[in-house]
Chains A and B, each alone.
Chain A
């Protein structure tokens, strides 16, 4: 069965499978990540799914979704390297599990169309009441995010590490830019997205080619030929490690370390780096977990993560403020050990099989399947899961040592309790 279709203004990807009881559709719109537009785009994801002309309030639209057996409709924004992705997502029960046949697929597609082409509009702008409510909601969401000390300190790390680059731009927008948005400017921005964003739609579920016609009939976007860069390797020109320490009235301190790595999703050494990250701190029995948590009882969580679209690595841990220097040194020591070639074959073996397993698991999750496919599609990477696994398995100890030697500590953001942090 053909799974790829060039439609009017978007690419349609079909992922047929009988294992799910729902059908999931994800429309992904890509544009450059910029300081100027990030807040607009985030607010748009709030307003877009609040109402349509036919269902002109959150109450009316939610009732409609309830009627369709609790069909889900949600949006989010994320960054993929230098791009910002708006994801409009809907999922609904496959008719065969319902007492009588319903046309949920057509209903939801029509709704997707209406979100973009038949929204609730007044005076060339979105409804003012809705926009004001959503502006307040976004503001409050950003404030509440700050109160989650884990994500706050991680955001701060990106901000300091990535000053003046895409890495330093918050993909969920800025509080101070919310007020200047008007119902009109937001509606104009929607028009821009409709005309200029690069669009892919993924459908996962018990489907066949017959749905292509339904898509063609119900959902069309203007055709355009723009492409946007996404993946890149973050580079830094800091003369020495930038260390930022902030004090708050908290119990547990949050250590965040950002590294440059000279490698990303499309590099040849992506596979070696993926294995390196797994064994260094990527899963629960990795080096960092073993040493920092199990051997030294310094934390409850510690891990490393490889941000493949920005080409950086992050380490974070929640620790007692007094142990800052000790923890930092232990983490750096683990890195140095690997750089010096102290890796066992078993460690490599386990890291590979863990990666293989977690990749196989994505086959059972509609969202992960779509994200995996999308990452490849926007970078024009032709690779199946089996090919990917083979490349991971082919990584040698030397490859791992080589990529580890490119890892360089760039920025530390340490959020610490007021009493804890004495003379560090």
Chain B
């Protein structure tokens, strides 16, 4: 077991790789009642075309299958995992994103049982045709719920606009049609390919003793056998450089219009350190331009273009990366023009050192606060882990940034790669 001490944060992380390839990270939190376990696999909605374990041919699976599998994993031979957790007084849940699926529990007692239960229910699969059919009704309701959510539609629509074929444009839950195609055989293929221990990571944080907990996990893993790990081969995405759609307008039964301007970034870095540096630089750059302390935020607020729902976000995962800028606005057309014009201006902008340092301080403070909450630590850890980064390095990296790092990313802003997505009220012409 390896021990890593982080002095600034006063945290100690313990880690070990199990013989079957499973990576385990433990973060004991003194004084906490709560223990939070998060078991993640690098399998998300973008993983749609791959060679299944022990097969030779590439297959294409129905959209939304990672999410469907997440729902069905809770079924065990001897009952439902949620019930078993409930008997321990523990709550459990799971979520699927574009790039990963994660299962979790949160408890204040029976920590050992909970950790084993989490490992056991995810490391075994039990499906019946009947229960798969039943799940479709529930998932269709979930899809319907998202269909009515204007924020989600605008957020996701603005990503879909950017990509011609890249699977990041696939709805995480799929559609009613693709969900109907899902069956036991395909689910099992996905499971055996992506839920191999070597593709997974367990993170436990809270009221635990690292030594004992690691031993418990070792014991638990030693009783199970898995097929030999193979490198998972997914189809490479040959996404075009250009964007798919310049503009899209969706009319919904809503009162408040919404706008997101998105921008595709084609220059994808390979090295995880460089990626982290870019992400943190980009966050500072976006704060300098768009946060409440920026001149632009003040100006656009006074002009009635934006309100406090306005935000700018950078995403960088796997082989895709993009920006999203927008929020609720009564003037979507005007705001769209302003944002796109601004993106065009960024490469020639310069920033002041004092502003840069101020935002640097802000970002460090916010990151330190994350370490108050076991849930936030675990979720952030898992998100960065699969990108090859340890979250404990974030603060040092922010500290090491300079104005030059900001100047280096300015060239990524490209007006020709911007797109806009508007949600407008159905019964109103703007």
Q: Which residues of A contact B (CB under 8 A)?
A: 17-22, 57-59, 62-63, 65-72, 91-93, 97, 129, 133, 136-137, 140-141, 143-144, 146-149, 248-252, 283-285, 293-294, 297-301, 318-320, 346, 350, 353-354, 356-358, 360-361, 363-366
A-B residue pairs in contact (CB < 8 Å), sample of 26? A18-B31, A58-B297, A59-B297, A62-B291, A63-B358, A66-B361, A68-B361, A69-B364, A72-B369, A93-B368, A97-B8, A141-B309, A144-B328, A146-B256, A147-B252, A249-B252, A251-B145, A252-B148, A285-B80, A320-B141, A350-B89, A354-B91, A357-B89, A360-B109, A361-B34, A363-B33
Which residues of B in the span 41-88 have a Cβ within 8 Å of any Cβ on A?
Answer: 80, 82-83, 86-88
The 8 closest A-B pairs by CB, nearest first: A69-B365, A297-B137, A353-B89, A70-B365, A19-B31, A252-B144, A62-B293, A70-B362
B150 part of interface (Cβ distance < 8 Å): yes
B9 part of interface (Cβ distance < 8 Å): yes
A205: nearest chain-B partner, CB-CB: B372
Indicate if the CB atoms of B368 and A57 lie closer than 8 Å: no
What are the interface flags for B368-392 relative to A under an 8 Å C-beta threshold, 1 for contact and 0 otherwise? 1101111000000000000000000
Partner of B138, one of A299, A356, A361: A299
Provide the residues of chain B in CB contact with A319, threshold 8 Å: 141
Indicate if the CB atoms of A66 and B148 lie closer than 8 Å: no
Provide the residues of chain A in CB contact with B255, threshold 8 Å: 143-144, 146-147
B301: nearest chain-A partner, CB-CB: A133
A150: nearest chain-B partner, CB-CB: B145
CB distance from A189 to the nearest CB of B (A): 21
Is chain B's interface secondary structure helix, strand, loop, or mixed overall?
Answer: mixed
Provide the residues of chain A in CB contact with B145, threshold 8 Å: 251-252, 300-301, 318
Provide the residues of chain A in CB contact with B302, threshold 8 Å: 129, 133
Provide the residues of chain B in CB contact with A57, threshold 8 Å: 298
Indicate if the CB atoms of A59 and B298 lie closer than 8 Å: yes
Indicate if the CB atoms of A136 and B363 lie closer than 8 Å: no
Interface size class of B (residues with CB under 8 A): 35 or more
Indicate if the CB atoms of A360 and B108 lie closer than 8 Å: yes
Indicate if the CB atoms of A140 and B10 lie closer than 8 Å: no
Indicate if the CB atoms of A17 and B86 lie closer than 8 Å: no
CB distance from B327 to the nearest CB of A (A): 9
Given A58-B301, A66-B362, A300-B145, decide whether A361 and B106 contact each other with a Cβ distance below 8 A. yes
A149: nearest chain-B partner, CB-CB: B148
B273 part of interface (Cβ distance < 8 Å): no
Indicate if the CB atoms of B301 and A364 lie closer than 8 Å: no
Given contacts A70-B363, A91-B369, 13 further A-B contacts (CB under 8 A): A65-B362, A69-B362, A70-B369, A140-B307, A140-B309, A144-B309, A251-B147, A293-B138, A318-B144, A319-B141, A350-B87, A357-B108, A364-B33
Indicate if the CB atoms of A357 and B107 lie closer than 8 Å: yes
CB distance from A133 to the nearest CB of B (A): 6
CB distance from A397 to the nearest CB of B (A): 18
Provide the residues of chain A in CB contact with B338, threshold 8 Å: none
Given A17-B31, A357-B89, decide whether A297 and B291 contact each other with a Cβ distance below 8 A. no
Provide the residues of chain B in CB contact with A59, threshold 8 Å: 292-295, 297-298
CB distance from A288 to the nearest CB of B (A): 14
Report Cα–Cα, A423/B47, bound state, in Å: 43
Provide the residues of chain A in CB contact with B362, threshold 8 Å: 65-67, 69-70
Given A63-B293, A252-B147, A357-B108, decide whether A19 and B369 contact each other with a Cβ distance below 8 A. no
B366 part of interface (Cβ distance < 8 Å): yes
Report Cα–Cα, A62/B328, bound state, in Å: 21
B134 part of interface (Cβ distance < 8 Å): yes
A296: nearest chain-B partner, CB-CB: B137
Provide the residues of chain B in CB contact with A19, threshold 8 Å: 29-32, 372
Partner of A283, one of B91, B147, B298: B91
Report Cα–Cα, A70/B283, bound state, in Å: 14
A97: nearest chain-B partner, CB-CB: B368
Indicate if the CB atoms of B108 and A93 lie closer than 8 Å: no
Given A22-B369, A62-B292, A360-B108, decide whether A297 and B138 contact each other with a Cβ distance below 8 A. yes
B403 part of interface (Cβ distance < 8 Å): no
Report Cα–Cα, A165/B87, bound state, in Å: 40
Provide the residues of chain B in CB contact with A252, threshold 8 Å: 141, 144-145, 147-148
Indicate if the CB atoms of B253 and A67 lie closer than 8 Å: no
Indicate if the CB atoms of A350 and B9 lie closer than 8 Å: no
Provide the residues of chain A in CB contact with B8, threshold 8 Å: 97
Which residues of B in the span 330-376 have a Cβ within 8 Å of any Cβ on A?
Answer: 330, 358-359, 361-366, 368-369, 371-374
Given A19-B32, A137-B307, decide whether A69 and B361 contact each other with a Cβ distance below 8 A. yes
Provide the residues of chain B in CB contact with A350, threshold 8 Å: 86-87, 89
Indicate if the CB atoms of B144 and A364 lie closer than 8 Å: no
Indicate if the CB atoms of A22 and B368 lie closer than 8 Å: yes
Report Cα–Cα, A137/B8, bound state, in Å: 39
Indicate if the CB atoms of A297 and B134 lie closer than 8 Å: yes
Indicate if the CB atoms of A357 and B91 lie closer than 8 Å: yes
Provide the residues of chain A in CB contact with B147, threshold 8 Å: 251-252
Report Cα–Cα, A19/B374, bound state, in Å: 11
Report Cα–Cα, A122/B34, bound state, in Å: 49
Provide the residues of chain A in CB contact with B148, threshold 8 Å: 149, 250-252
Indicate if the CB atoms of B10 and A67 lie closer than 8 Å: no
Indicate if the CB atoms of A70 and B89 lie closer than 8 Å: no
CB distance from A136 to the nearest CB of B (A): 7
Indicate if the CB atoms of A66 and B372 lie closer than 8 Å: no
B20 part of interface (Cβ distance < 8 Å): no
Provide the residues of chain B in CB contact with A365, threshold 8 Å: 373
B5 part of interface (Cβ distance < 8 Å): no
Report Cα–Cα, A366/B254, bound state, in Å: 36
Indicate if the CB atoms of A68 and B297 lie closer than 8 Å: no
B90 part of interface (Cβ distance < 8 Å): yes
Partner of B365, one of A20, A92, A283, A358: A92
Given A67-B361, A251-B144, decide whether A356 and B89 contact each other with a Cβ distance below 8 A. yes
CB distance from A75 to the nearest CB of B (A): 12
Provide the residues of chain B in CB contact with A283, threshold 8 Å: 86, 91
Report Cα–Cα, A338/B415, bound state, in Å: 62
Indicate if the CB atoms of A360 and B82 lie closer than 8 Å: no
Indicate if the CB atoms of A300 and B291 lie closer than 8 Å: no
B240 part of interface (Cβ distance < 8 Å): no
B149 part of interface (Cβ distance < 8 Å): yes
Indicate if the CB atoms of A361 and B33 lie closer than 8 Å: yes
B8: nearest chain-A partner, CB-CB: A97
Report Cα–Cα, A146/B256, bound state, in Å: 9
Indicate if the CB atoms of B328 and A300 lie closer than 8 Å: no
B308 part of interface (Cβ distance < 8 Å): yes
Indicate if the CB atoms of B141 and A140 lie closer than 8 Å: no
A60: nearest chain-B partner, CB-CB: B293
Indicate if the CB atoms of B307 and A148 lie closer than 8 Å: no
By CB atoms of chain A within 10 A, which of B33, B141, B298, B371 has the most? B141
Indicate if the CB atoms of A66 and B374 lie closer than 8 Å: no
Indicate if the CB atoms of A21 and B134 lie closer than 8 Å: no
Provide the residues of chain A in CB contact with B86, threshold 8 Å: 283-285, 350, 354
Provide the residues of chain A in CB contact with B80, threshold 8 Å: 285, 294
Report Cα–Cα, A416/B337, bound state, in Å: 36
Provide the residues of chain B in CB contact with A21, threshold 8 Å: 9, 368-369, 371-372
Provide the residues of chain A in CB contact with B369, threshold 8 Å: 21-22, 70, 72, 91, 93
Given A69-B364, A285-B82, decide whether A318 and B108 contact each other with a Cβ distance below 8 A. no
